[in-house]
Amino acid sequence: MGLRQQDISIGQGMHTQINSMLRSYENGGLSRRQFLEGMVMLAGAATASSQNLMKPAEPLVPVSINHVAIGVKDLARSTDWYTRLFQMEKVHRADRLSILRFGNTRLLLRPELPESKSVRAGRISHVMYGLAQFDEEGVVQRLLELGIDHPKKDGRSFHIKDPDGLDVQLGDEKMGERG
């Protein structure tokens, strides 16, 4: 029984891998057994991937840490330290905020201010978890189901407190990324 195009959807990356393996097999670089083992692994990966795509996204399942916010005594000194030591990219710098990027995660540095009880030098003030398919209503509904009834809205995100009082932010995984 032959497979039709509508039966299988092969992404460009997988298509490239199959072609590469086939060329290696035809040129004697892979044995028949190695070629078949590779095809089985690719088929398994494709099946797992398609099953994940068919599952509806859970409203509170994070896929990333969007950012971590840390209180600092001296914003310029801490910005310099993190960029020099870890080669983080400076994304934004203002009087009361420095945003640094490493990979898909950001580090927010905020100076300790007398009027702010949540920002203290050397302490994490909050962590933002990125949600793959951010749906405000779905997030609020799920929080209510879990007994968290006062999420604080903040743009396209919400802030809640963990059991020990840490500010936990939930929002779109792409929040804060450049265009």
User: Cα(158)–Cα(137) distance, rounded to whole angstroms?
Assistant: 11
Helix (H) or strand (E) holding 77: helix 75-86
Residue range 58-70, pLDDT digits in tens: 668 888 899 999 9
- Against a cut of 0.85, is the pTM above it? no
User: Cα(19)–Cα(16) distance, rounded to whole angstroms?
Assistant: 5
User: Cα(177)–Cα(66) distance, rounded to whole angstroms?
Assistant: 9
| Distance in Å from the first CA to the final CA of the chain | 46
Q: Decide if pLDDT at 14 tops 70.
A: no
DSSP state of 176: T
DSSP states along 5-73: GGG----HHHHHHHHHHHHHHHTTSS-HHHHHHHHHHHHHHHHHHHHHHHSPPPTT-EEEEEEEEEEES
Query: What does each C-alpha distance from 171 to 48, 120, 134 come to in angstroms?
Result: 26, 23, 6
55 exposed, middle or buried (CB, 10 Å; 0-12, 13-18, 19+)? exposed
Residue with the bigger pLDDT between 28 and 18: it is 28
Residue range 82-94, pLDDT digits in tens: 999 999 999 999 9
Q: Decide if pLDDT at 122 tops 80.
A: yes
User: Cα(141)–Cα(59) distance, rounded to whole angstroms?
Assistant: 9
User: Domain-by-domain residue ranges, the chain?
Assistant: 5-54, 62-172
The CATH-assigned architecture of domain 62-172 is Roll (3.10)
User: Which among 70, 59, 52 has a CA at the least distance from the CA of 130?
Assistant: 59
